[in-house]
Amino acid sequence: MDTREALGSWIDGPKAAAEKMGADFGYRGERLGLPQEGPGSIAGPGRRIGAVFVDGWLVSLVAYGMIANGAVVSANLWTTPLFFAVTALLLSTTGTTVGKRLFGLRVVRLDGGRATIPQVMLRTLLLCLLVPPLVWDRDARGLHDKAVGTVEVRM
């Protein structure tokens, strides 16, 4: 029985083992003063990944459309710079992108205000590097959000 419990805690991970010992981590966003559910709560990883996928897909369509209309450079060269430009422009003006809008998300500062242009530019640059969004904290904020003091919340 003791071996099974040890194996179970290893498979479940350190958070589950700590919770079994009585640690209370709370919900995502509690440390940031955000609500647990509804508007203003931290967006889940599934929605965020879906939104980035939609944005990337739309930008790829535009890049391939540029190739079909006689652009000399390959579409792969245009995709990342175009993704950066579109994402930075939309986030700095509306706080959301097409994909984020479809999934009901927006990017805000930790105090709830609209992210500034420098915050959006750095966040988008880090997002394009791919590594920062893959490293999350327990509030499901990627390094790209932590670096600029933003959070992705539900609308």
CA 125/CA 51 separation, integer angstroms: 17
75-93 vs 45-68: helix crossing angle, rounded to 10:
130
Q: CA nearest 29: which of 137, 144, 105? A: 137
CA 24/CA 28 separation, integer angstroms: 12
More confident residue, 73 or 104: 104
Copy the structure tokens of residue 18.
């700590």
Residue 1 pLDDT grade (very low, low, confident, very high; cuts 50, 70, 90): very low
Judge whether 18 lies within some domain: no
Judge whether 2 lies within some domain: no
pLDDT at 58 over 70: yes
Torsion angle (degrees, nearest 10) of CA 149, 110, 51, 127: 0
pLDDT at 72 over 70: no
Split into its structural domains, the chain has a count of: 1
Judge whether 86 lies within some domain: yes
Token look-up 């670096």 returns 147
CA 94/CA 90 separation, integer angstroms: 6
Judge whether 22 lies within some domain: no
Answer yes or no: pTM beyond 0.85: no
Length in residues, the chain? 155
Judge whether 23 lies within some domain: no
Judge whether 43 lies within some domain: yes
Q: What is the pLDDT of residue 8?
A: 55
Judge whether 104 lies within some domain: yes
66 CB burial (10 A radius; 0-12, 13-18, 19+) = middle
Domain enclosing residue 130, as ranges: 32-154
Q: What is the pLDDT of residue 22?
A: 63
Q: What is the pLDDT of residue 4?
A: 53
Judge whether 3 lies within some domain: no
pLDDT tens digits along 80-130: 999 999 999 999 999 999 999 999 999 999 998 999 999 999 999 999 988
Q: What is the pLDDT of residue 9?
A: 55
pLDDT tens digits along 2-45: 555 555 555 666 666 666 776 666 788 888 888 988 898 999 88
